Amino acid sequence: MMDKENMISLVIPVYNEEASLPHLMERLRPVMKGMGKEYEIIFIDDGSSDKSLPILKGFTAHPGVKVLELTKNYGQHAAIFSGFSVAKGGIIVTMDADLQNPPEEIPKLVRVMEEGNYDVVGTIRKERKDSVFRTFPSRIVNAVARRITGVHMTDWGCMLRAYRRSIVQHMIKSHEQSTFIPALATYFAKHVTEVEVSHEERYAGSSHYSMRKLINLQFDLVSSFSDFPLKLIMYAGIGMAFLGISLGFVIGIARLIYGAAWAAEGVFTLFAVLFAFIGFQFFALGVTGEYIGRIYKEVRKRPEYVIDRIYSSDVKENIR
């Protein structure tokens, strides 16, 4: 009989990682077997356009391997949620498929969680092998996440993390369209910690996180957990209104003292003030629009993901 409480579920989203997958599986199996616990490895094909899915299907020849085929590319966090929905273990570990997170670190997370009875175990990447174009935005995300959640974790961007099943179930029930899983988990968790893990060069290919996706992820984090940008706009509007009134008063006095010729009849001053106000208005509309757009996604109640088929060594689970 399967002991689900002591079982380890490993959830790995995959998007166009055909070059990395064979080596990933080669390293994963001895690690999972070496822990001496029941385990399952859940791969989620997030609409890959390369040969990732056929390779993943081949992995189902191994016991304990399950592959979820999504109908299209829903994004990393939605793919992880789909894996959460079928995970059976008492401890659920997430990691990327690009091998920047060494599989050999998984037992450390499980051990720390069990010994400390933690709800969430995060990780800190030692000596990151990413470029400055990745590490600098990551620092911004970390700073914002700490500010918004009030949880002082060092590295929010590393996907190698461990969660108790109860925390995962709470996250699944949230049904949020745009969210940030590491931050959402801390909302439900009481005991949280993090451990240092090694970090490797990407095994093959390049990162699928473009600057646009990183910005969207940042706004998902902010909009899901805080209304601070809206409040900032309100306070900035009050401040600009005060400055506008003050500037108008100063210009009026200056014109009385120095005449209409002062400051080129006031044209330059007018344009400067006008451009500042217009720029702020567009910024305010953009931020407000992002919030409204996310509200629109929520009220439509569309599923965050659609599983087209599940492949497994168990014939009963090869469903569509």
pLDDT band at 55 (very low <50, low <70, confident <90, very high): very high
Instruction: Report the Cα–Cα distance between both ends of the chain, in Å, rounded.
Output: 26
How far is it, in rounded angstroms, from Cα 157 to Cα 146?
A: 12
Element of type H or E holding 42: strand 39-45
How far is it, in rounded angstroms, from Cα 280 to Cα 283?
A: 5
Look up the pTM and report it.
Answer: 0.75
**3-class state of residue 44 by DSSP:** strand
Q: Which of 163, 188, 160 is nearest to 174 (CA)?
A: 188
221 pLDDT more than 70: no
Q: What percent of the chain has pLDDT over 70?
A: 72
pLDDT (0 to 100) of residue 217: 63
10 pLDDT more than 50: yes
Helix, strand, coil fractions of the chain, as percent rounded to 5? 55, 15, 30
pLDDT band at 179 (very low <50, low <70, confident <90, very high): confident
Residue whose pair of structure tokens reads 């007018």 in the numeric block: 270
Element of type H or E holding 268: helix 267-300
- Higher-confidence residue of 20 and 180: namely 20
Q: In the structure encoding, which two tokens stand for residue 277, read together? A: 């106000």
